[in-house]
Amino acid sequence: MTLSRLASRLRLPLGFVVGGLYLAFARPSRETLLAGAIVAFLGILVRAWAAGHIIKNDKLATTGPYAHTRNPLYFGSFLIACGFAIAAHWALLIFVAVFWLLIYGPTIARERAKILEKFPDTYPDFERNVPAFFPRLTAWKGSGQGEGTPFSAALYMRHGEWRALMGYLGGMTWLVLRLRGVIG
């Protein structure tokens, strides 16, 4: 089994382990909770925007957030993770960064190979012009070869991104309760 395949398989189970550790060690303050909530909510918005543009496995998405980064869903998840780390305690950011590199780096590389195989005519130009992770500020206009869709709330719902919003609301509620001493 390759490192990228292993990272892909471990991504979800390790996420639950990390979540459990997070719940055990979170020590929010008002300031960190507010700052983290804002960063995490930006991640929720990025994921929602991306989910409303992508038609998985049918078209190479190059519009919306995909004109800024090739991996907006992962970038949004990164913002959510950083936001929750900030909200809980700033030191957790180091752990988030290491976890991200070890798990998502190989996953992104593996997915890149699959996408290149599926879209050999359009992906190379897209890859040359749009960064893999951290977004460019201006939208790439494309060569006219890639396809995209306008934002669709139906796609957002079909991809289940509302679950990320529910997780955000639940996690922030838990942090508020911990901050107020309701949860020990």
CA distance 139 to 144: 14
CA distance 149 to 69: 16
Domains located in the chain, CATH noted:
3-179 (1.20.120)
Q: What's the pLDDT at 4? A: 66
Identify the band that residue 168 occupies on the pLDDT scale cut at 50, 70 and 90.
very high
The number of angstroms, rounded, from the C-alpha of 60 to the middle of its chain's C-alpha atoms is 18
CA distance 125 to 121: 8
- Among positive and negative, which fits the CA dihedral 42, 71, 96, 170? positive
The number of angstroms, rounded, from the C-alpha of 53 to the middle of its chain's C-alpha atoms is 15
CA distance 60 to 63: 9
The number of angstroms, rounded, from the C-alpha of 72 to the middle of its chain's C-alpha atoms is 6
Q: What's the pLDDT at 147? A: 56
Question: Is a pLDDT exceeding 80 seen at residue 91?
Answer: no
Question: Is a pLDDT exceeding 60 seen at residue 37?
Answer: yes
Identify the band that residue 90 occupies on the pLDDT scale cut at 50, 70 and 90.
low
Angle at Cα 104 formed by Cα 69 and Cα 161, nearest 5°?
65
The number of angstroms, rounded, from the C-alpha of 137 to the middle of its chain's C-alpha atoms is 18
Q: How far is CA 179 from CA 79, 87, 103, 175, in A?
A: 22, 10, 30, 6
Q: What's the pLDDT at 145? A: 46
Under 8 Å between Cβ of 60 and 119: yes
**pLDDT (tens digit per residue) in 46-65:** 999 999 988 877 788 898 99
**pLDDT (tens digit per residue) in 102-147:** 888 888 988 999 999 999 999 999 999 999 999 999 999 875 544 5
Identify the band that residue 152 occupies on the pLDDT scale cut at 50, 70 and 90.
confident
